[in-house]
Amino acid sequence: MAERSKNRDPDAAPHDAYRCADGRWLAISCWSDQEFGRLAAVLQRSDLPADPRLATLESRQDNAGELDAILRRWCLLRDAEAAATALQAAKVHAYPVNTIADLFVDPQLKPRGLWRHRRHGAMGEVVSYYSAYELSETPGEVTGAAPLLGADNELVFQEFIGLSTKEYDEYLALGAFD
């Protein structure tokens, strides 16, 4: 039976997200002892790869709490973007955790048309998430915002439930759909 592992991964250590000085989070994962050595160099902690408690994947996983404490202290002194840039330059897997606002301006998602603007009857302009993939044989489209409550009552009650126009009008007059 699978157990909960939070952000842990059996093949990477460290493997978690850490809060940074700017309030954002930075995801960091090391997938080899060599990558961990590069992480230690960016942290200016050449002692870490030589420490038997952190020298191997298994030992880093066994001592994940201690390793996380080191990374938390380091990240809390840096902005997420700057820390990610430094780690990526050293070929360490690291990226700021995106917020929804970040996704709206993401340089990879924006040109794909992932977000579509639609007019909603009560909320005005809304932004809808569109599929991240396109199917050539059956392309989809977000044709509008969600309907207002009851906007499709006539269609639902007549077409799907089978009420006649007369029955629908009688229920409507009684206020059954209010």
Rounded to whole angstroms, what are the CA distances from 18 to 55, 68, 74, 138, 160? Answer: 21, 8, 9, 41, 51
What b-and-e string marks burial along 52-83, b requiring 16 or more CB atoms within 10 Å of the CB?
eebeebebbbebbeebbebbeebbeebbbeeb
- Whether residue 25 sits in one domain with residue 44: yes
- Whether residue 174 sits in one domain with residue 153: yes
- Whether residue 169 sits in one domain with residue 105: no
What b-and-e string marks burial along 7-24, b requiring 16 or more CB atoms within 10 Å of the CB?
eeeeebbbbbbbebeeeb
Whole domain around residue 38: which residue ranges?
15-97
- Whether residue 92 sits in one domain with residue 104: no
Phi, psi of 163 (to 5 degrees): -65, 145
The pLDDT profile of the chain, 178 residues, written as one tens digit per residue, is 777 777 888 999 999 999 999 999 999 999 999 999 999 999 999 999 999 999 999 999 999 999 999 999 999 999 999 999 999 999 999 999 999 888 888 888 888 878 888 888 888 998 888 777 778 888 777 777 788 888 899 999 999 999 999 999 999 999 988 8
Q: For residue 168, what pLDDT is reported?
A: 93
User: Looking at the 3D structure of the chain, how many domains does it have?
Assistant: 3
- Assess if residue 7 is contained within a domain: no
The domain that holds 37 is classified in CATH as 3.30.1540.10
Q: What CA–CA distance (Å, rounded) separates 86 from 62?
A: 27
